[in-house]
Amino acid sequence: MRHATCLLFVLLMACAVAAADRPNVVMLLSDDLGYKDIGCYDGPVQTPNLDGLAAKGMRFTNFYSGCAVCSPSRATLLTGRHHIRAGVYSWIHNDTQKSHLLRREVTIAECLGQAGYSTAHFGKWHLGLPTDLHDKPAPDQHGFEYWFATDNNAIPSHHNPTNFIRNGQSVGKIEGYSCQIVADEAIGWLQEHRVSDKPFFMNVWFHEPHQKIAAPDDLVTQYGKVGEKQAIYSGTVDNTDRAVGRLLAALKESGDYDNTLFIYASDNGSYLDERTGDLRGRKGLNWEGGIRVPGIFSWPGKVVEGGVSDAPAGLVDVLPTICGLLNIDPPKDRHLDGSDISALLMGRPDDFVRHQPLFWHLQKSRPVVAMRDGDFSLVAQPDYELSTDNMFQESWIPTIRSGGYRDFQLFDLRNDPGQQHDLATQMPERLQRLKKKLLEINASVMADGVDWNDR
């Protein structure tokens, strides 16, 4: 018995040392930010802090959101799975829908928490919160020990929001701008609440530049006149970059920066056509402009410095990649749609093989589905009647799960990133191969999907 106790103690100590040696993880997410908004993607907004992360790490030129709208993309990011598998079909209207991120899902926070990490969420959530009618899980039931969040957007705007909740308790009106408030909370947690001898996972999800937009006048006037929509929009992106800069400075001051893996992206494309980089479509559509977003990974001394990759990757890859980089086992009892892109980040592109093409589905979009396999994009329309209303109705779920597709279009994104030239009739064999893959993925996703009408 004595020897067994000693052995257990040694094993526990070894686990503690292993956790302490692992890097911190900071996930930074913008809301509705387009492919061509920030400086290092040739955008018009001055973003020196995000540009600095890209310069010290790897920037992806073919990086994708989990969906063309908010809630599903976030579900995909946290789970490494298609959002329909996770229970989220479209953006969640919390008060009127049963939908939420399913309790059965295993999130990044849960994976890292089990590996000895402190976990905290800051900013927009939009994956369901408890209501008077529906007992939905809060972030703490998805692995976040500390959370400071809004159900959806900052209300009434990014300026002086009134709807933040801290660990289940409403906070009330907070003066300032949302991105800076989120940064304040994250820095405060870092300085006052983190467990000093444990690595941490900070999930920092900004509200900007989602509408309703607001930014300080002195930032707005750098991009146009006060009151001009595009100038305010740019001001919100600029303000977010400054908030990121404050967080990075705090991490440097605490001595954590050099041992931190940073990831930055957007939940979907911009609602402004001018900010999608001449890609077709915008937020809410399964064209490239609705799903291609910035993607930056930085880990000083580990991720290739100054790297630029044109390999297709996306938010669906974040969970398996974090697990791969940190040598943590990903969930084994479920299908992961994402792939571990560690080899790309470490400068070994020949060692990377994606196990499954990237796949998108969104009821309100036409095309309703899209898939990227290598250089090629395949899109299709539903072969059944389906509303394109922005507000999702859970009564549509049975039709969506059983429906098929028609009018397939094929695009070579390397030579036609704007998706202007349909190659379906010119490449019939490739069309059939990709169509088969799309239908197989779709069947797997829909088989895992839940019908909220039965709950």
Q: What is the pLDDT of residues 359-405, one digit of tens each?
A: 999 999 999 999 999 999 999 999 999 999 999 999 999 999 999 99
At the top level of CATH, the class of 358-454 is alpha beta
Burial 30-40 (b: 16+ CB within 10 A, else e): bbbbbbbbbbb
Prior bond of 209 cis (ω within 30°): yes
Q: What is the pLDDT of residues 23-77, one digit of tens each?
A: 999 999 999 999 999 999 999 999 999 999 999 999 999 999 999 999 999 999 9
Q: What percent of the chain has pLDDT over 90?
A: 95
**pLDDT at position 9, please?**
41
**pLDDT at position 8, please?**
44
Examine the pLDDT at 20 and tell me if it is beyond 70. Answer: no
**pLDDT at position 18, please?**
57
Residues of the chain with CATH 3.30.1120.10: 358-454
Examine the pLDDT at 274 and tell me if it is beyond 70. Answer: yes
Residues of the chain with CATH 3.40.720.10: 24-351
pTM to 2 decimals?
0.95
Q: What is the pLDDT of residues 131-143, one digit of tens each?
A: 999 999 999 999 9
> Which tokens belong to 251?
């991490």
Examine the pLDDT at 408 and tell me if it is beyond 90. Answer: yes
- C-alpha distances out from residue 304 to 23, 61, 96, 207, 297, Å: 16, 15, 46, 29, 9
DSSP 152-210: SS-SS-SBS----EETTEE-----SBHHHHHHHHHHHHHHHTS-TTS-EEEEEE--TTS
**pLDDT at position 19, please?**
62
Residue range 24-351, CATH number: 3.40.720.10
